[in-house]
Amino acid sequence: MPERKAAWVRPMFEAIAPRYDLLNFLISFGMHHGWRRRAVRETLRHEPRVVLDMGTGTGDLALALLRGGGGGPAVVGLDFAGSMLTIARRRAQAARAGERARFVMGDALHPPLADGSVDAVVSGFLLRNVDGLPEVFAAMARVLRPGGRLVILEMTPMRRRLLRPFFRLYFNRWVPMLGRVVSRHASAYTWLPQSVDEFISAEALASLIAAAGFSDVRVRRLGLGSVALHTATRA
């Protein structure tokens, strides 16, 4: 595989965009809605006015933030795959999000936003797909105002010994087959389990977040331990 992930991750997401939401639903048995709701609750607890959703994809997390109630924040969804953003914009229009949702093309390593300009940064299932986690966290810290919140949802290597063999059978065997048939992409859903296997532990991720200038770093495990929700405060 080429050295920089972006070179093949971007065309991969461009290609699978039309089937991305359906596959999320099938693979997680619909549980991904609950995980996003948890992330949204964590984000809205601090009543942000502006939220950046990095790696917004088809805008699931961004739109869930807008549905969260109250006056609610304005949300900027950032992604480098144009076909994902096209779907996100269409969904925002259907949800009559108006000015409150803005979808922008750009790289998570260089978000086109001013220093300290957002109250919260969220990301769902982005981090396994980028090179240089310290650089991504530095970019997140740069755009957040001091005291702003970071909320990260990501798959995490399964720790539970009893569940691990069943999970591997499902995730490493069944998911690639299902993904190939439904997305008609040869490797995207082989990359999914492979990227989780290669990903660092939730504890190591928490240490990287702290090293990037965040305090109050907390981890909660969801989805039988297959998903981690990290929260932190920009110091």
Ligand X SMILES: C[S@@+](CC[C@H](N)C(=O)[O-])C[C@H]1O[C@@H](n2cnc3c(N)ncnc32)[C@H](O)[C@@H]1O
Find the binder of ligand X among 103, 125, 137, 191 (CB under 6 A).
125
The DSSP secondary-structure symbol of 209 reads: H
In order of 128, 202, 206, the CA distances from 136 in angstroms are 11, 16, 13
Asked whether position 61 contacts ligand X by CB under 6 A, the answer is yes
Rounded Cα–Cα distance for residues 201 and 207 (Å): 10
Asked whether position 137 contacts ligand X by CB under 6 A, the answer is no
Task: Look at strands 50-54 and 118-124 and give their pairing.
Answer: parallel
CB of 60 to ligand X, least distance (A): 5
Asked whether position 103 contacts ligand X by CB under 6 A, the answer is no
Asked whether position 81 contacts ligand X by CB under 6 A, the answer is yes
What token pair was written down for 73?
A: 């924040």
Element (H, E) at 191: helix 188-197
CB of 12 to ligand X, least distance (A): 8
Q: How many residues bind ligand X (CB under 6 A)?
A: 20
126 backbone dihedrals φ, ψ, rounded to 5°: -90, -45
Largest CA distance in the chain: 48
Q: Which is nearer to ligand X, 40 or 217 (CB)?
A: 40
- CB under 6 A: which stretch of 74-82, 91-99, 137-145, 182-190 binds ligand X? 74-82
Asked whether position 43 contacts ligand X by CB under 6 A, the answer is no
> Given the rule CB under 6 A, which residues bind ligand X?
6, 9, 13, 55-57, 60-61, 79-81, 84, 107-109, 124-126, 129-130
